[in-house]
Amino acid sequence: MRFWDASAVVPLLVRQSCTDLVRRWRADDPVMVTWWATEIECVSAIARLERETRLDRRGTADALRRLDAIGASWHEVQPSDGLKQTARRLLRSHALRAGDAFQLAAALHAAELRPASLDFVCLDDRLSLAAEREGFGVVCASEPAPAAALPAAPRKRGKRRGS
């Protein structure tokens, strides 16, 4: 089981340079845990790609169908007062935006405040660094991939439990 940030879910929905890599991560451990608002963050990313004409209507519809299918099987961390308090602390401890603080707080609550017990899958450098500092094993791309190339394997940062 791994916690998935929206930045790592989007390549499962829309073809990107890192899609094959992210699919391998999911195949290695298909049980996904996400934050309650991850679905909306993914729809936002898909809509932005459509507005920028990087996705046509069919591509958008396909991405939204994939989101529905994947979202039906993931486990969602629901909002709570405790999670909100954790997000407040994270905003004071790390250079995060509000949405990222909620993502990281949700991961901490999914891990029952034992971050070393759960891997954090993320393609956002700032959020990955904060997750690592909180004690998560972070699964991320080793470097931003050029459009035509994919990294050979994920970089795993931070404290890790056995693979």
Q: Which residues, including other chains, have CB under 8 Å from residue 54's CB and lie 6 or more apart?
A: none
Whole-model pTM: value is 0.84
Residue percentage of the chain with pLDDT more than 70: 87
The rounded distance, in Å, linking the Cα atoms of 46 and 57 is 11
Domain 2-157 has CATH 3.40.50.12780: no
Band of the pLDDT at 31, cuts 50, 70, 90? very high
pLDDT at residue 11 greater than cutoff 70:
yes
Instruction: Summarize pLDDT for 72-81 with one digit per residue, the tens.
Output: 999 999 999 9
Residue 155's SS3 state is strand
Q: Which pLDDT value is given to residue 76?
A: 98
Average pLDDT on 69-74 reads: 97
Nearest to 99 by CA among 151, 45, 62: 45
Nearest to 138 by CA among 123, 158, 152: 158
Nearest to 78 by CA among 122, 37, 128: 37
Q: Which pLDDT value is given to residue 142?
A: 58
pLDDT at residue 148 greater than cutoff 80:
no
pLDDT at residue 9 greater than cutoff 70:
yes
Q: Which pLDDT value is given to residue 141?
A: 75
Q: Where are the domains of the chain?
A: 2-157
Assess contact for 45 and 37: CB atoms under 8 A.
Answer: no
